[in-house]
Amino acid sequence: MSFKDLYEKYINNQASEEEIKIVEEEIEKNEIISEYLCNKIDDDLFNLGNSKDGEDFGEKQQINSNKKCEEDVLLKNINRKIRNKFLKTILASVVIIIGILASAKYIISPMMDAKYYNPSIKKGDFTTQFLTDISVFTELHFPGIITNYTDDESLGYGKYNVKIGQNDIFKNTNTTYDGVINKGSLEYIENDFYKYPSMNVFKYGVYPFSCGFDDDTGQLEELKKLPSTSQVSAYISFKKDIDMKEIAKMIEENKDLYFSWVGIRTCDKNIQQLPQMGFESSGTGVILESFKNSKDYPYLELGGIDEDRNRADIYETHFKSLVKYMIDNKAFIELNHPNSYISSYENTLKYVEENGVKSYGVLVNGSKDGILKLRKNKFVYNLIIDDVKVSSYSH
């Protein structure tokens, strides 16, 4: 067997231990010979003038040169094959790494996104899962506040940066809040995002009931002193819970006022606990696509409804749809909002189905004269001024 054949077996990992030993000894021998010849040639060149026999020197030089060429060819072949094998190993490693990274990005990360709450799911051309969820949540729990904007950025593996735009209806101001959702939990949200109503802002809103604001004489006197252009935001408490027919009638009789939130009884009056729930009475102005004629959540949208329709039935259905939507979107509730639990919505829906949708108070915006007129309504117990501004153009 020629050395070439033996070397091919060595390169292809087919050589025996004895053959491996032979090849490696030859490689080592050739390296030593090559190094020796290189040094020898340099010495001979530098000592060319001291040769005793020019012909002998030329003949020896030719022989050495021929041997050197053969050895160089062999070494080049060896180096080339070693280099090719090394490059193949590097290429394979690169391909594996790229494969791992691609799998992480296009397989593992989407799987994680699907496992946990995903705010980016499209609900229409301009509506996402997060915008819909936050809009419903805000209307239910934050008097006088609407969500008018959300944005989200996927960071992969179930983690998202989110932004929420809130509009304070009375102040006419917009605030954007930054948050982080990580693996189905709201890991961070700016502190003042949650605008739950104060516990006893309504007389019979949350048990036990406070008598600290029973006498609103002083506040009424202050209202009378305000200039005629003044705008007032006030919490109005009722003497007893009233149904949506009376709410609809009250709104109709006070068209110059804006009923920005109608508080709803969610359980027995004497055990009423947080969170308080309610709804905005006219349509928030935010269009939640695909809900206009929804069979699952009828009247989830109030905007654009004909005035001739029975407003009392619409209000009842609207509130129930808001609560049902939250029940059906458990993953959003499990982001861990304070005072918000799936059982609260389930119990609320059961209660209003059995007892009707009734209100213990409202948040109203409008002129001082309009507020004072409403205070005289037979159902009104008292009022608490929430905010005042000089005119409708103030912020």
Report the distance separating Cα 330 and Cα 117, nearest Å.
Answer: 9
Helix axes 217-225, 368-375, angle to 10 degrees: 150
pLDDT in tens, 254-289: 999 999 999 999 999 888 888 999 999 987 666 676
* Weakest-pLDDT range from 29-38, 203-212, 221-230, 285-294: 29-38
Query: Stretch 376-393: mean pLDDT, rounded?
Result: 93
* 300 within 8 A of 294, measured Cβ to Cβ: yes
Longest Cα–Cα distance of the chain, Å, equals: 137
* 141 within 8 A of 363, measured Cβ to Cβ: no
What is the model's pLDDT at position 342? Answer: 94
What is the model's pLDDT at position 19? Answer: 74
Q: Assign 302 a pLDDT band (cuts: 50, 70, 90).
A: confident
Highest-confidence segment of 33-47, 277-291, 305-319: 305-319
Residue 124 has pLDDT above 90, yes or no: no
Q: Write 251-258 long-range contacts (CB < 8 A, 24+).
A: 251/281, 251/311, 252/311, 254/364, 254/366, 254/370, 254/373, 254/374, 256/366, 256/367, 256/370, 257/364, 257/365, 257/366, 257/367, 257/370, 257/371, 257/374, 258/169, 258/282, 258/364, 258/365, 258/366
pLDDT in tens, 138-195: 999 999 999 999 999 999 888 999 999 999 999 999 999 999 999 999 999 988 999 9
What is the model's pLDDT at position 316? Answer: 97
Residues facing 361 on adjacent strands: 237, 263
What is the model's pLDDT at position 88? Answer: 60
Residues 114, 117, 122: CA angle, nearest 5 degrees: 75
* Weakest-pLDDT range from 224-238, 292-306, 337-351: 292-306
Q: Assign 72 a pLDDT band (cuts: 50, 70, 90).
A: low
* Weakest-pLDDT range from 265-269, 306-310, 383-387: 306-310
Query: Stretch 76-84: mean pLDDT, rounded?
Result: 65
Residue 28 has pLDDT above 80, yes or no: no
Q: What is the mean pLDDT of the chain?
A: 82
Q: Assign 96 a pLDDT band (cuts: 50, 70, 90).
A: low
Highest-confidence segment of 190-194, 202-206, 363-367: 363-367
Q: Assign 301 a pLDDT band (cuts: 50, 70, 90).
A: confident
Q: Assign 78 a pLDDT band (cuts: 50, 70, 90).
A: low
Highest-confidence segment of 117-126, 167-176, 293-302: 167-176
Query: Stretch 239-251: mean pLDDT, rounded?
Result: 96
Residue 381 has pLDDT above 70, yes or no: yes
Residue 23 has pLDDT above 90, yes or no: no
What is the model's pLDDT at position 56? Answer: 55
Q: What is the pTM of this model?
A: 0.72
Report the distance separating Cα 154 and Cα 119, nearest Å.
Answer: 9
What is the model's pLDDT at position 246? Answer: 97
